[in-house]
């Protein structure tokens, strides 16, 4: 695979001496136009990589906030096709910020893998995180995605042992997403010392950048992770701001305001 936007972004951040701020938002939440405004505003608020969630009716890895976001998006008529349209609209003004689609295999399977990969690459998608496709199913989507030039990003968890880890890493690219706690998104904050121990072990097996997520809510928490990881992922805390907004404009402003605060925390940590 040639260098992707994700590869280039992590190399640039390494040269800059800081960790990536990886944001997650749900496509179509609270509606198409406001979601597009959020995604367009995130790079200016400090996001280095944007994960865009695919709304799905049965999101088994997600906590209540992201489940509700997906339901709001689906109720508003959001589809995979519209999600790709949203990304192509984002790309009209931003050709540098990496976009990762994160979700479940069912909507992609229903869309048709070949058609999906054609449409995703032309829309400007850079990577995929498909949480319910283990490495044993690489022929389904992972290998065709790599052929299409997309990074296929895997999750590792505190229960991913040394025997399992090489299988998780096989055919992975872009970065490794380390799920810092055993549980669903938005649960308790991770202990930095536990994460540091896990990353030391994982780095013996891979040179991929490692981004840490699940449970990060504040700039201070993200800064702690930025000291030890190559990236900090924040999703639930941002998604919650959408629901707290009194109207679309308020939702957009709340998300971007929190993103700026967390970005400042991450950027305060300089690595040598």
Tell me the per-residue pLDDT of 190-232, one tens digit each, with 9 for 90 and over. 788 899 999 999 999 999 999 999 889 999 999 999 999 999 9
Length of the chain: 272
pLDDT value of residue 215? 85
Q: What is the pLDDT of residue 63?
A: 84
The confidence score (pLDDT) of residue 188 equals: 65
* Cα–Cα distance for residue pair 63/169, rounded to 1 Å: 25
pLDDT at 60: 78
What is the pLDDT averaged over residues 170-183? Answer: 89
**Residue partners of 248: CB distance under 8 A and separation at least 6:** 30, 31, 33, 34, 37
User: So which residues are the catalytic ones?
Assistant: 51, 62
Tens-place pLDDT, residues 212-223:
998 899 999 999
Query: What percentage of the chain exceeds 90 in pLDDT?
Result: 88
Residue 257, pLDDT score: 98
- Using CA atoms in the order 64, 126, 47, 65, what is the torsion angle rounded to 10 degrees? 0
Question: Cα(249)–Cα(243) distance, rounded to whole angstroms?
Answer: 12
| Tens-digit pLDDT profile for residues 67-81 | 999 999 999 999 999
What residue has token string 């880890």?
Answer: 165
Q: What is the mean pLDDT of residues 97-101?
A: 98
Q: How confident is the model at residue 50 (pLDDT cuts 50, 70, 90)?
A: very high
- pLDDT of 1 reads 67
Q: Name 242's Cβ contacts closer than 8 Å, sequence gap at least 6.
A: 25, 26, 29, 30, 34, 38, 69, 72, 251, 254, 255
Q: What is the mean pLDDT of the chain?
A: 94
Give me the mean pLDDT over the 136-143 stretch. Answer: 96
pTM equals 0.96
Return the percentage of the chain with pLDDT > 70, whole number.
97
């Amino acid at each position: 695979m040639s260098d992707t936007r994700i590869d280039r972004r992590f190399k640039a951040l390494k040269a800059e001496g800081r960790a990536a701020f990886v944001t997650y938002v749900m496509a179509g939440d609270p509606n198409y136009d406001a979601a597009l405004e959020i995604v367009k505003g995130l790079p200016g608020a400090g996001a280095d990589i944007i994960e865009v969630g695919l709304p799905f009716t049965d999101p088994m890895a997600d906590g209540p906030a992201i489940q509700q976001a997906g339901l709001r998006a689906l109720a508003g008529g959001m589809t995979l096709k519209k999600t790709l349209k949203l990304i192509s609209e984002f790309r009209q003004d931003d050709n540098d910020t990496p976009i990762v689609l994160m979700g479940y295999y069912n909507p992609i399977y229903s869309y048709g893998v070949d058609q999906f990969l054609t449409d995703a690459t032309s829309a400007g998608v850079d990577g995929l995180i498909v949480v319910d496709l283990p490495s044993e199913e690489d022929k389904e989507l992972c290998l065709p995605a790599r052929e299409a030039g997309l990074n296929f990003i895997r999750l590792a968890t505190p229960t991913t042992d040394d025997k399992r880890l090489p299988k998780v890493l096989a055919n992975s690219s872009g970065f490794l997403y380390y799920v810092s706690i055993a549980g669903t998104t938005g649960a308790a904050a991770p202990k930095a010392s536990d994460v540091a121990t896990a990353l030391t072990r994982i780095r013996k097996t891979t040179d991929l950048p490692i981004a840490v997520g699940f449970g990060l809510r504040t700039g201070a928490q993200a800064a702690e992770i930025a000291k030890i990881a190559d990236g900090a992922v924040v999703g639930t805390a941002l998604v919650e701001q959408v629901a707290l907004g009194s109207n679309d404009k308020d939702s957009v402003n709340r998300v971007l305001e929190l993103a700026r605060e967390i970005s400042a925390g991450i950027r305060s940590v300089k690595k040598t």
